[in-house]
Structure 1
Amino acid sequence: MKKLALLASLLIPTNSIAGELHNFNEIKTAIVTGKTIHIAIDFSKCSASNKGIAQPMSIGVFTPNAIAITDHIATSLTHFTLNNPSFPGKAVYEFVRYTITDDNNVNLTDQVLDAVNYTPISDKFSFNCKLETGAKIFD
């Protein structure tokens, strides 16, 4: 019985539950102490910079591996896709920048780039999200 209990305790990860970070200072502290953060955006709960942009009924999660901290927290990613709704079937890159401000807002700015030469092929657009509503950060 003791062996079974020991085996069960070894199989249950002790740090697998992600904790939600509720404000800029908690996020900054987590980053500077070496924790990995995860940014979850519920686009339906954010405001779009361009009123013509349909807010998708989707949630995106990003785990940054490089973060800059000044008076705000910034990270970005560039990814290749054939599924951009504005350019169906066309090979494009999407450059996405995340900015977390000390007033607990998360801004996501997206720029679509040509996959051949990296030139912008659309206007930038942004989603502005309130932390704990449209955006959640976990460590």
Structure 2
Amino acid sequence: MKHIVATLFGILFATAANAAGDSHVLASFHEVELALTTGKPVNVRVDLGLCTPATGDTPPTKTRGGISIDGYRITSDGTLAFADQHFTIDRDGKPILQFLRYRIRPDGGAEFTMAVFNVPSYERKGTSLAYKCSIGRGLSFFSPR
């Protein structure tokens, strides 16, 4: 399982967008929500070494990377949710589809989960991995100035 985790996260973040340079740090849930709801681009940087595994099946990892938030949803309890999905290959050269889900609560707490499916069968590969993070600890948000 560790081999699969390292492979999947390595592939996941190898091409991910990383927030850097001339960006404004969004240090609170309110700042992230305000930037998104006013149409500003928002990038998120993930450092899973600062997050805690949320299940017994999820190993610790030092994986880092990021994405640009393309779409999002705010639920009735105030949770900000967004996701990413992409096709890639595993270390054995076989095609897979990764689904990444981010859920950020108004108190700044967050969950990051990943599910992987074999292609073309779409059968689940392994178990979902889940990490508990928070804004400023494992998740950092940025918006261009």
Computed over aligned residues only, the root mean square deviation of the Cα atoms, in angstroms, reads 1.6
For residue 32 of structure 1, report the CA deviation from its aligned partner. Answer: 0.6
Of residues 112, 122, 126, the one that matches 2:126 is: 122
Of residues 75, 89, 110, the one that matches 2:82 is: 75
* Residue number in structure 1 paired with 2:8: none
The amino acid of 2:71's aligned partner reads A
Secondary structure of the residue aligned to 2:62 is coil
Say whether 1:90 aligns with 2:97.
no
- Structure 1: give runs of 5+ residues left out of the alignment: 1-15
For residue 52 of structure 1, report the CA deviation from its aligned partner. Answer: 4.6
For 1:112 and 1:127, the matched residues in 2 are separated by 15
* Residue number in structure 2 paired with 1:49: 54
Q: How does the TM-score come out when normalised to structure 2?
A: 0.76
Secondary structure of the residue aligned to 2:30 is helix
* Residue number in structure 1 paired with 2:41: 36
Tell me, yes or no, if the aligned pair for 2:57 and 2:127 is still in contact at 8 Å: no
* Residue number in structure 1 paired with 2:23: 18
The amino acid of 1:55's aligned partner reads P
* Residue number in structure 2 paired with 1:105: 109
Question: Which string of whole-angstrom CA distances, capped at 9 and with x for unpartnered residues, describes residues 16-69 of structure 1?
Answer: 721111111111101011011111111111001234533222211011211111
* Residue number in structure 1 paired with 2:10: none
Q: Alignment length, in residue pairs?
A: 121
Q: How does the TM-score come out when normalised to structure 1?
A: 0.79
For 2:104 and 2:71, the matched residues in 1 are separated by 14
Tell me, yes or no, if the aligned pair for 2:109 and 2:133 is still in contact at 8 Å: yes
- Structure 2: give runs of 5+ residues left out of the alignment: 1-20
Bigger CA radius of gyration: 1
Residue identity (%): 24
